[in-house]
Amino acid sequence: MTCHCAEIITPGLLDLFDARQRLIDTATPINTVETITLEQSAGRVLAETLLAPLDMPGVDNSAMDGYALCLADYQAAPGGAGLPILQRVPAGAGVMLLPKGGCARIFTGAPVPMGADIIVPQERVTLDQRGHIHLEGSLVLGANIRRQGEETRIGTPLLAGGKLLDAASIALLASHGINAVTVKRRLRVALLSTGDELIAPGTARSPGQVYDSNRAMLNVLLAQAQCDVLDLGVIADSPQSLHQAFEHAQSVADVVMCTGGVSVGEEDHVRPVIEQRGGLHFHGVAMKPGKPFAFGYLGAEPSSSTPLMALPGNPVASLVGWQLLALPFIHAMQGRAVAALQRYPVKAGFSQRGPQGRCELLRVLMDWSQGAPVAQLAGGQGSHMLSAASQAHGYLMINPATQVTEGATYHYYPINQFAA
């Protein structure tokens, strides 16, 4: 996948999807593991492939409430006399032997009696005055019987290493009686904001000061991604302060993430300090918003150093940089399989001038009022405008030098795919 930014790229900027792949390829998964209870495992990454300890189902069982019988016995009953009910099989019962010449009342999940070869739903059964059953509709051998091992067999792969343990996978493990799992330890991420203008929400603000929204946002996003966040606060705009902060972050974290100060102005010190303490893999991505994104490392050699991602200071640029670039790197570091980006074609419900030199990610809402989805702008598109980002359903990606024309089709990336 590519956004074709490289075809009309601003000199020195990396194509968005090239940058994304470089991040994924550079990530070295953590190898420390721990064993935890199943109740503690939500959101954790499985460290090893688990094999099924049981057949599932463990025995042939009924898929519904009804009657278990041998079809040949029913068909051989003289004069359509039906079959008497000689047995009752509730869920949790042991495996029984079906009485010859009779049937069993059976319930969903109950073991199928030996000798029965069909379960007939209760809705297709009538009882005569003697209590014999009579069946309606077509009868197929094996109908409504869940066969032993039809889902999984003992010793076959149950869940692969690298799987994020969600509700369904935890239920699967519980159904096999597994109550402890070996998982990757949580990734430790040191987070800091840079900027003399930044202040904490809830404090009095002077003219020119800005509340630090990026750190609040990234704290939540990192926590949702199952990272342990080491919040280092706001760091002053000075090389000395950044050197001290990066030195500490490098010593306590697996990954360092900072926001702001990553552009090329006189007060943007992040890039030169990274280069002095380690090096840069790349700086600048052909995307709008998010161009100043930088990826580097702290230490003597890239392979043995602490990776660092520097996100832009504008909050929407920081959010987009997290979703498209930082998050897949975090997943790869956690040992997770990185999912391909989901996109599908959607018509634009507006027209506007196209971007120049880099692809643009427009924050849009999906309008379903006409049946098929149509993308409408969620609000102002400035990289500082969080209001549109907070309402958007996804991004409409516009390639460089491409005009947005109402009714034309563009790639749409739903935001819910970035829910860590």
The pLDDT profile of the chain, 420 residues, written as one tens digit per residue, is 544 443 444 558 999 999 999 999 999 999 999 999 999 999 999 999 999 999 999 999 999 999 999 999 999 998 889 999 999 999 999 999 999 999 999 999 999 999 999 999 999 999 999 999 999 988 999 999 999 999 999 999 999 999 999 999 999 999 999 999 999 999 999 999 998 899 899 999 999 899 999 999 999 999 999 999 999 999 988 999 999 999 999 999 999 999 998 765 555 789 999 999 999 999 999 999 999 999 999 998 887 899 999 999 999 999 999 999 999 999 999 999 899 999 999 999 999 999 998 999 999 999 999 899 999 999 999 999 999 999 999 999 999 999 999 999 999 999 999 997
CATH topology for the 34-56+152-183 domain: Molybdopterin biosynthesis moea protein, domain 2 (3.90.105)
Largest CA distance in the chain: 99
Beta bridge partners of 56: 152
Domain with CATH 3.40.980.10 in the chain: 5-32+186-333
Model pTM score: 0.87
61-146 homologous superfamily: Molybdopterin biosynthesis moea protein, domain 3. (2.170.190.11)
255-276 burial, b at 16+ Cβ within 10 Å, e below that, comes to bbbbbbbbbeeeebbbbebbee
Where do you find CATH 3.90.105.10 in the chain?
34-56+152-183
In the chain, list all ranges with CATH 2.40.340.10.
344-418
Query: For the chain, what is the total number of helices (H) and then of strands (E)?
Result: 9, 26
Residues of the chain with CATH 2.170.190.11: 61-146
Q: Which CATH superfamily is domain 5-32+186-333 in?
A: MoaB/Mog-like domain (3.40.980.10)
Options 2.30.110.10, 1.20.120.1200, 3.30.70.640, 2.40.340.10; CATH for 344-418 is 2.40.340.10
Is residue 325 within 8 A of residue 19, CB to CB? The reply is: yes
| Rounded Cα–Cα distance for residues 291 and 11 (Å) | 12
By CB atoms closer than 10 A (0-12, 13-18, 19+), residue 158 is buried
